[in-house]
Structure 1
Amino acid sequence: MTDGRRTILVVDDAPDSIMALCALLKGAYDMKVAVSGEAALRVLRGTTVDLVLLDVVMPGLDGYEVCRRIRATPRLAHLPVVFLSAHDAPEDTARALAAGATAVLAKPVEPERLHATLERWL
């Protein structure tokens, strides 16, 4: 955390999605980014963040597996993980919650819903 602001890790394999999220959150939070599940886990090993915004569908480790690994790591188990997914059917939400998601937001993300979710978990 820098200057008293919370740090958010944005994990998405689509650079446009990362840029859009960072633009929405710019100034309110310190941002870290990762373009894969593997990169996200490396970031989490090397730094402290307050919340993870995690895309579900990514090559390699998908969001479900990344979240399971976060939950299995004692130092990170408490970390809020908000899934971002274009798949918003009830079974997709149930799968995300079963993997350990704190919340699930549909893509494209509605700014008001994103800010309300972050305020709730930070």
Structure 2
Amino acid sequence: MELQQLTVLLVEDSPMFRVMLRDMLQQMGVKNVVEQPNGKAAMEYLKSGELKPDLVCLDLTLPDVSGYDVCEHIRRTPAIAHVPVLMVSARNLPEDKAYAEEAGANGYLGKPFTPEELEKRVRQVLKAAAPRGSA
């Protein structure tokens, strides 16, 4: 899948970090980045069925609903259960990564990271989540 055709749902409560992540995604060629400031807004957006994302970049520590809960919500919702989720967090403990995996995340990226690391992880997650034969 070409990055230009992706719709990425970016869920991040820090405005500064959200802008930085959006800019990195756009520099990678992603044209459509939908930003949500918290878990509740992200779940409302997903529920609306407005535009199904091809990838969700999800902060772990959100002010209202945790990234784990948002990820579990995605996995429990048949229409979007297949959408790959990349957890992005400043929490880098092995148990954080284990919980993210348990919640259904396809990948984990610890802050801080470089644009190259983000692109590499995004491509890995998309490739791993792609149905066989369509990569």
**After TM superposition, is the score higher than 0.5?**
yes
The equivalent of 1:58 in structure 2 is 62
Question: How far apart are residue 108 of structure 1 and its match?
Answer: 1.6
The equivalent of 2:20 in structure 1 is 20
| Aligned pairs for 1:1-122 within 5 A | 5-26=5-26, 28-29=29-30, 30-46=32-48, 47-122=51-126
CA distance in 2, matches of 1:101, 1:25: 19
In structure 2, stretches of 5+ residues that fail to align are 127-135
CA distance in 2, matches of 1:56, 1:118: 16
Contact 2:107 2:125 in 1 (8 A): no
CA distance in 1, matches of 2:91, 2:124: 23
CA distance in 2, matches of 1:81, 1:106: 14
Helix, strand or coil at the partner of 1:108: coil
CA distance in 1, matches of 2:69, 2:88: 14
CA RMSD of aligned residues (A): 1.2
CA distance in 1, matches of 2:45, 2:114: 26
Contact 2:10 2:33 in 1 (8 A): yes
**Which sits farther off after the overlay, 102-111 or 10-19?**
102-111
Q: TM-score, normalised by structure 1?
A: 0.92
CA distance in 2, matches of 1:78, 1:109: 26
Helix, strand or coil at the partner of 1:49: coil
CA distance in 2, matches of 1:110, 1:104: 14
Q: TM-score, normalised by structure 2?
A: 0.83
